[in-house]
Amino acid sequence: MGKYDELIDDSSIWLSATPTQLTTTLPFYISEVGHFIAEEGYEVIRNTHNSFLLLFTKSGMGTVISEDMPFVLEKGNAIIIDCHTPHRYFSVGEGWEFYWVHFNGAMAKDMFSILYPDNISAVNINDGVAMLEIINGLLELAGQNDISGSLKISLGIHNIFNIMVSSLLEGEQVRHNGRYYEYIQNAVDFIHKNYDKNITIDDIIDELHISKFHFIRLFKRTMGTTPYNYIMAYRINTSKMLLRSTDKPVSEIAELCGFLDSSNFIRQFKKHCNQKPTAYRHDFSL
């Protein structure tokens, strides 16, 4: 069988990294990382594992099953799965050469949600060279528990998320014949010009010729939030400037910023800023 009791070549790499109390407070840290050259018949099945898992195919092909959905990982494809739920992955055909990283951290769950706001998917990486460089860097740093190494590992995982999100957005642009960013920018421009009115999503997409469901998904993918929450945040930000730079009453500012009444404005402001508009104004008048 070789040095590993699995169907992988002896040249494969498998490193464990036990986190310290310091590293567990960082945005990301790794618990295991490896580079496997898997043979035909290689398979991993788990009910649960306390981590998230990155898989990136260098050559050959593998299949990942997570959330009861199969995902094919061809050369240059990557996926991140939540191992807290049942999952399975295996080689397809004659073999599968892939890199893998088990990671966790204070930001792991939130970044996973940013990458996959709806459902997980395989990602065709647009910069495979950069991806490999980062993962090889993690292999070199694994097991180093000093502060500098831990910070570099955390940054490396963050950069992997950046590459994957960028690759997904680039794929959306191609699928929409180059109009993807145009859709989002037109929507943002419309919100900025009409935030003081009682606008709806139907108003925003009226000229875009795109379904509401698809628009909301694209908007959330790009802006990191829903259109409704973006409108609300823009109104709150505008109200902050008026509270700080004018002596207009709260009721007038509420109307200028598109809120139906001052009580709704006060409620939303407190929800987003943890204080009432009058308290916010008072803090900046001192």
Half-sphere exposure of 94 (CA within 13 A, CB side): 2
Residues whose CB falls within 8 Å of the CB of residue 38, separated by 6 or more in sequence, listed in order: 6, 7, 8, 9, 12, 60, 62, 91, 95, 96, 97, 98
47: pLDDT strictly greater than 70: yes
Q: Where are the domains of the chain?
A: 13-175, 177-286
Mean pLDDT value of segment 224-246: 93
For residue range 131-146, list pLDDT tens digits in order.
999 999 999 999 777 8
**Model confidence band, residue 286 (pLDDT cutoffs 50, 70, 90):** low
pLDDT at 20: 86
- Mean pLDDT is lowest, of 1-5, 26-30, 117-121, 156-160, for 1-5
pLDDT at 178: 58
2: pLDDT strictly greater than 60: no
Q: Are 124 and 166 in contact (CB under 8 A)?
A: no
**Structure tokens given for 214:** 């698809």
**Model confidence band, residue 63 (pLDDT cutoffs 50, 70, 90):** very high
4: pLDDT strictly greater than 90: no
The answer to whether the 13-175 and 177-286 domains have the same CATH topology is no
Q: Determine the distance from the C-alpha atom of residue 54 to the mean position of all C-alpha atoms in its chain, rounded to a whole number.
A: 13
Mean pLDDT value of segment 78-91: 96
- pTM score, whole prediction: 0.79
| Structural Rg of the chain based on CA atoms | 24
Half-sphere exposure of 173 (CA within 13 A, CB side): 12
User: Hey, which CATH number is domain 177-286, 3.20.20.70, 3.30.565.10, 3.40.1360.10, 1.10.10.60?
Assistant: 1.10.10.60
Give dist(CA 227, CA 39) in Å, integer: 47
Assign domain 13-175 to its CATH architecture. Sandwich (2.60)
pLDDT at 168: 87
